[in-house]
Amino acid sequence: MDGRLSTATILPDTFQGARDIDITAQIGLIWQQVKAPLIVPLLKLSLAVCLAMSIMLFLERVYMGIVIVFVKLFGQKPEKRYKWEPFRDDVELGHSAYPMVLIQIPMYNEKEVYQLSIGAASGLSWPSDRIIIQVLDDSTDPAIKDLVELECQRWASKGINIKYEIRDNRNGYKAGALREGMKHGYVKMCDYVAIFDADFQPEPDFLWRTIPFLAHNPEIALVQARWKFVNANECLMTRMQEMSLDYHFTVEQEVGSSTYAFFGFNGTAGVWRISALNEAGGWKDRTTVEDMDLAVRATLKGWKFVYVSDLEVKSELPSSLKAFRYQQHRWSCGPANLFRKMAMEIIRNKKVSLWKKFYVIYSFFFVRKIVGHIVTFVFYCVVLPATVLVPEVEVPKWGAVYIPSIITLLNAVGTPRSFHLLIFWILFENVMSLHRTKATLIGLLEAGKVNEWVVTEKLGDALKAKLGTKAPRKLRFKLGGRIHLLELGVGAYLFFCGCYDITFDGKNRYFIYLFLQSIAFFIVGVGYVGTFVPNS
């Protein structure tokens, strides 16, 4: 023995005749040997699981589509389904006939938007002696804190009852700030609390349209308004976000409100009954979706929610890829982690009906928050491309074409003006599914970064100036953000599958799809998408 391993000790007998063949041929032989006993069965199993999840998602979308059609054709507006009467001045009681309302505005280094949010809250039309505005400033920049405090003082000098509140730590992030805000003595005088994130600008009549639901219907805990995006046309990425969120507000929220009187609180642009909030246990910071956590706990106490679709509150979409990725991590990881924590509590609850439990556990959490993310990535970005390399695994046409097409078309109903951007939306959603799937698994497994909270960057006045000076129909390219190796790696994998398909397989089944998808992964990986301005 000369101390060296011979080829015979490394390769099995099958490959002894291939010692002198180059490494590519040897890899090819190994691939042929492992494909039939290992790769094909594993891929068939993965395909079966993905098709099952696709059917679940498909049935969920079709069900909500049917419900929303009936709601639009035969359903009544919330003002008709619930008792709703406007408040009127009482000669004898005066303003005391109006309930006391607390407005909470949580902030964190919001230099660009603090004036907009404080100004909008101060402009709400409601008796001045029956409203308290509470600015909860968690800013770590002393200069910004001084600016926010000065702005509060400016409005206070105009007769607005505004409180500037700070704390010496950021424990619990937004949930912690809201919880601390509720501990102040003057809050005990209030019946309801309206919450607006720093970039939200309610119209003056917001309270006039929401408070009557709570005042005249003691079973209602929450009134949620719709978001209106002031920067939807900023770039292609914001157009894609608008399509996804419009479906959420047009369909998901409306169906939850109209059928089960349950939907996830969006964390802002909503009004809570303070007694219901307290009965549910108040704000908790155990997940990054403290708003959804509160909504589920309030539902388990028997409270109902109302969604007012025609009441819109201006807000801002993340216009940079970095901000959008952090937001999506929080929105994907948090619900999965909350599902892990509350599934058994929901099942054991005796105050809500069996159908509502099923809706919350299966439809709201499992299908939308878990299956929706995982199947999009695993099926369209892993299994489907892998079948190109393994032609023995056949994907049924209904699973590869019909179901995805119907789901995509149903998603477009929320934003008909962007119907021509559906192809871009498909590619973009598939790319982001990688990030969302990772976040979902982190939430389910309660792994590292499960409670990571990065405040979404907002532009506010800077965005207005940008939009005001931007030339229309112009494509801009700006290299920003770091290269994300995971996206680039998946893009390379898809591109390789496409090249293999057109070169060796000859069927050319998925080449165009894979090629476009690989380009999308590359674009997002490098960080371009956030700076593409759409042509329309």
Q: Spell out the residues 6+ positions from residue 413 whose beta carbon is closer than 8 angstroms to its own.
A: 65, 68, 247, 250, 251
CA neighbor of 502 nearest in space, from 490, 515, 511:
511
- How far is 490 from 521, CA to CA, in rounded Å? 7
- How far is 402 from 48, CA to CA, in rounded Å? 16
Contact 427, 517 (CB under 8 A): yes
Contact 91, 124 (CB under 8 A): no
- How far is 365 from 332, CA to CA, in rounded Å? 11
HEC states along 353-369?
Answer: CHHHHHHHHHHHHHHHH
User: Dihedral of the CA atoms 280, 346, 411, 376 (nearest 10)?
Assistant: 120
- How far is 354 from 349, CA to CA, in rounded Å? 9
Residue 502: DSSP 8-state: I
By annotation, the residues acting in catalysis are 138, 291
Tokens describing residue 101: 């309302």
315 — phi, psi (to 5°)? -150, 180
80 — phi, psi (to 5°)? -95, -35
Q: Spell out the residues 6+ positions from residue 46 whose beta carbon is closer than 8 angstroms to its own.
A: 378, 382, 383
